[in-house]
Each structure stands twice: as structure tokens, then as C-alpha cells.
Amino acid sequence: MINTTINNMNQIRKCLVGVVQMCSTHNKKQNMEFILQNLKQAHEKQAKICFLPEAFAMISRSFAETFENAEYVDGEMINCLRDHAKKYNLWLSLGGFQERLKENDKKMGNTHIIIDNLGNIVQTYKKLHLFDIKIDTKNTISESSGYVFGDQIPNVVDSPAGRLGLSICYDLRFPELFRILAVQQNAEILLVPSAFFKKTGQAHWHTLLKARAIENQCFVIAAAQAGQHNDKRESFGHSLVIDPWGEVLLDMGPEKLGIDFVEIDLEKIDTIRKGLPAINHIRNDIYKLSKI
Ligand SMILES: O=C(O)CNC(=O)[C@H](CS)NC(=O)CCC(=O)C(=O)O
């Protein structure tokens, strides 16, 4: 792929990316209109890649309702997004698509899809860690009752912004996945599209995302759901872009809905790793986290 070559040759190291923060509801059509407006803006800004949060397609009151409206990967919604990726010359990270599965008629996949600027699906990843929690009455959910568990670590994807390592939302709490993506697969940008709960977000969101950026010396991009989706569900917002030093380059706050743009400069990874080569100090010999 041309982009890979360019990145490997260290020529183009800077890339403008768009991060979409949204408040999806059960209304798929409205959610889609909102997304397309933002993609148009990304095109006008000449951004090269756009990041959408988990559950961009819809957030309903129950998984049963979500399931009713879930589509296959080759359905209308993804086809429409593929057409727009091509039309707008824009890569897309679709951070968590409620995927109707041909092999399972009871549960969906929670699938992160990467589409290139020609409209091709270049990677899919099914969420490995599902959010089954009982914190209090408001914060109780069993994601695994609606979704199948993913069973594969996704390969990194070369994009115009850099090499992408994919995850989804609750995966954020499992640093092993990010270590594998960053150290074994040389990811440069770790993606954590999310629909974080308000309570857990307030307590943990910034800290965990900064930690993933700092410990792996990678960029972190986390497009998020924000606000009240229905009477049962509220999301924390604060879509973030963090650099490999842990500096927050973008924080969209709790309320803003729309798109913001950030320049990703991959040079920063080299500079930071040269000065503080923690990645090279990993004791592979002791705990066998080998580079491949
Ligand atoms: O609802 C859907 O259709 C898609 N799935 C989600 O939004 C999931 C499960 S409810 N949300 C999270 O994983 C939030 C994690 C979180 O808030 C934390 O780790 O603290």
C-alpha cells in the first residue's frame, strides 16, 4: 500500500485527523445524517481519516431493540459509509458497529471496522472484553447478553495517519492488548472508540487513556459518545487525542457534539522513544513479550 511505503520511508509524518463526538439514539437515520454532515466537514478540511465512537449506529434502550435494528457488515449502513469514504477520499474508523452475524441469530458482534479512502473494508475487530458489570442500579449491564465475545487480536493497519492498533471501549481496562499492539505489532496510534458510562468515565477515563499512551509511547485516539441517549443511558463524552508523552492534544468535553481536528505528527514517537527508551527496556528475556 502506498501509504505504508510513505510512512516507512519517513517522508510524510504529519496527518490531519477528525474525531467525531456524538450522542447516538435509537434513531439510526438521524445518527447517520449526523455522521455524514461531519464527514463532509472532514472532507472540506482535507482530513485524511475520521474516527467515530462505539455504537455510532445507534444506542437503544435495550439490546433487544438494538438487535432488531442491527445490520450485516454488507448492509445499507456500512455500504453508505464505504461510498462516502470513497467520495470524500477519507479513511474511516467505525469504532463499534452492532453487527448482525450470519452465524448467530441471537447475538451481535461489537465490531470495529476500518475503511480505506477507496471504500474498502481493510480490517475488522470484534470486542474481546465485554462490559458485564453491577456497580449500582444505574450502572448495571451485561454486554455479553447481547454480543458475542471476539476471539482474535487484530493485526495493525497502516493508514495515512500511522499504524493503527484497534480496540473498543472496555478493552481500555486490559493493558495486555495494547502492549501486544504497540510492542509486538508496532502500532503507532492506539484507538479506543467508546461509549463510556458517566460514572466510570469520571473516575477512570482520562487516567487510563493517558496511561496507555505513556506506557506504550504511542498516540491514543478515543472518539466517544457524549450525553443522554435515552432515559436509561448517559455517556461521559470527553473524546480525547493524547500524544506519546501523555499530553492531551484534544479534549472535546462532556457536551460538544460534532467534529474536531488534530494534526498527528509521528516524529514525536521517535523523539520521545529516543530520549526515554522504555520500550527498549522491556525485559523480554524475563517475561517473554517478544517483538515479532
Ligand atoms: O451498547 C451498545 O450497543 C454498545 N456497547 C457499549 O456501549 C458498551 C457496553 S454497554 N459500553 C462499554 O463498554 C462502556 C465501558 C465503560 O464505561 C467502562 O469500562 O467503564
Q: Which residue has the cell 500511522?
A: 162
- What is the predicted pLDDT for the residue at 200? 97
CB of 143 within 6 A of ligand 1: the answer is yes
Quote the strand ranges of 116-243, DSSP E: 121-126, 132-134, 140-142, 157-159, 162-166, 189-191, 219-222, 226-228, 234-236, 240-242
Q: Tell me the whole-structure pTM to 2 decimals.
A: 0.94
- What is the predicted pLDDT for the residue at 1? 39
Provide the pLDDT confidence category of residue 288 given band limits of 50, 70 and 90: confident
Mean pLDDT of 91-120: 97
Model confidence at 10: pLDDT above 70? no
Nearest-CA residue for atom 16 of ligand 1: 196
Return the amino acid letter for 82: R
CB of 197 within 6 A of ligand 1: the answer is yes
CB of 138 within 6 A of ligand 1: the answer is no
Look up the ipTM and state it.
Answer: 0.92
| Nearest C-alpha neighbor of 155 from the set 111, 202, 187, 120 | 187
Active-site annotation, residues: 54, 127, 169
**Other Cβ atoms within 10 Å of 80 Cβ, number:** 13
63, 144, 194: residue to mutate for ligand 1 pocket, most atoms within 8 A of CB: 194
DSSP 61: S
Give me the residue spans of the domains in the chain: 15-281
* Residue 180 Cα to ligand 1 middle (Å): 22
69 phi, psi to nearest 5 deg: -105, 0
Nearest-CA residue for atom 19 of ligand 1: 170
112 in the Ramachandran plot: left (φ > 0), alpha (ψ -120 to 50) or beta?
beta
Q: What is the mean pLDDT of the chain?
A: 94
| Nearest C-alpha neighbor of 283 from the set 179, 178, 187 | 179
Nearest-CA residue for atom 7 of ligand 1: 195
- What is the predicted pLDDT for the residue at 9? 47
Give me 225's grid cell: 459518545
- Condensed to tens digits (0 to 9), the pLDDT of residues 145-177 reads 999 999 999 999 999 999 999 999 999 999 999
- What is the predicted pLDDT for the residue at 4? 43
* Residue 56 Cα to ligand 1 middle (Å): 12
Q: What is the 3-state secondary structure (H, E, C) of 231-287?
A: CCCEEECCCEEECCCCCEEEECCCCCCEEEEEEEECHHHHHHHHHCCHHHHCCHHHH
CB of 141 within 6 A of ligand 1: the answer is yes
**Other Cβ atoms within 10 Å of 74 Cβ, number:** 10
Contact 243/212 with Cβ under 8 angstroms? no
CB of 195 within 6 A of ligand 1: the answer is yes
CATH 3.90.950.10 matches 15-281 = no
- What is the predicted pLDDT for the residue at 287? 83
CB of 56 within 6 A of ligand 1: the answer is no
Model confidence at 144: pLDDT above 70? yes
> Percentages helix, strand, coil for the chain, rounded to the nearest 5?
35, 30, 35
Model confidence at 197: pLDDT above 50? yes
User: What span, in angstroms and rounded, lies between the C-alpha atoms of 124 and 146?
Assistant: 19
Provide the pLDDT confidence category of residue 290 given band limits of 50, 70 and 90: low
Q: Which residue has the cell 527508551?
A: 277
- What is the predicted pLDDT for the residue at 138? 87
